[in-house]
Amino acid sequence: MRILVVEDEPSVRENLKELLASEGYAVDAAQTAEDGAYLMRENDYDAVILDIVLPDGSGLDVLKKFRQGGNAVPVLILSALGGIIDRVSGLDTGADDYLVKPFVSAELLARLRALVRRRYVQLDPVIRVADLAIDTKARKVSRGKRTIELKPKEYAVLEILARNAGTPVTRAMMWEHLYDWDYDGMSNTVDVYVSRLRTKIDRPGEKPLIHTRRGVGYVLGLEEA
């Protein structure tokens, strides 16, 4: 899951980046309306957290132009402006949710999860693939009666695979949703996470669910022998 944070206040921006990264999200950040608008045009985000009062303009204008262009990415406005009129105009402009600063981390994360779920038009928070169950609300994973503990990045890899179950997910797609815009890593890191995930999901004696597609990427699902 890849999130854009548009926020000019350095301490809030850094806190958000840290908070989201600790949950396994890949995070890009912009400090101005112009940079935010640019990144929103260039990248396919799972959600955007948008401040209203920015040094070079209003986050609402960014949002308005973006929606006029037909883009439906979920947007959560995070603003110090907490009046009814501010909230109503934010939602009317096309925001999916509105949270007033100062905010509580747990609430922000819960609202973000709700937005991402809605984007995938998935009412049941539990994704099931064969006997594997992924509760995207509680971020809990089990296979049969076995509970599986995953690190945030491993969970993020599994979630991308599960949301595309039966369809190969390319390394580039995984990369896009796992890493930050400026991340300077090596692409085989994706393979490292998949391999760690595989040892936890597919135990000896169980039917393998994670399959490699040479030259393409990975697919999650049961395969006929």
Positions touching Ca ion (CB under 5 A) are 8, 51, 53
Q: How, if at all, do strands 26-30 and 2-6 pair? A: parallel
Structure tokens that stand for 139 in this block: 């971020």
For residue 101, the minimal CB distance to Ca ion (Å) is 9
For residue 187, the minimal CB distance to Ca ion (Å) is 35
Q: Alpha-carbon distance 222 to 38, whole Å?
A: 40
Q: Is residue 140 within 8 Å of residue 162, measured between CB atoms? A: no
Among the listed residues 76, 112, 120, the one whose alpha carbon sits nearest the alpha carbon of residue 94: 76
Query: Using CA atoms in the order 119, 120, 123, 129, what is the torsion angle rounded to 10 degrees?
Result: -160
Nearer residue to Ca ion within complex by CB, 8 or 34 = 8
Nearer residue to Ca ion within complex by CB, 8 or 131 = 8
For residue 111, the minimal CB distance to Ca ion (Å) is 19
For residue 8, the minimal CB distance to Ca ion (Å) is 5
For residue 9, the minimal CB distance to Ca ion (Å) is 5
Nearer residue to Ca ion within complex by CB, 13 or 113 = 13
Q: Alpha-carbon distance 24 to 157, whole Å?
A: 9
Contacts 24+ apart (CB under 8 A), 55-63: 55/8, 55/31, 56/32, 57/32, 57/33, 58/33, 59/6, 59/33, 60/89, 60/90, 60/93, 61/33, 62/6, 62/33, 62/36, 62/37, 63/93, 63/94, 63/95
Nearer residue to Ca ion within complex by CB, 80 or 88 = 80
Beta-bridge mates of residue 135: 126, 140
Q: Which amino acid is at 175?
A: W
Nearer residue to Ca ion within complex by CB, 44 or 56 = 56
Q: Which helix (H) or strand (E) segment is 27 a member of?
A: strand 26-30
Nearer residue to Ca ion within complex by CB, 10 or 185 = 10
For residue 76, the minimal CB distance to Ca ion (Å) is 15
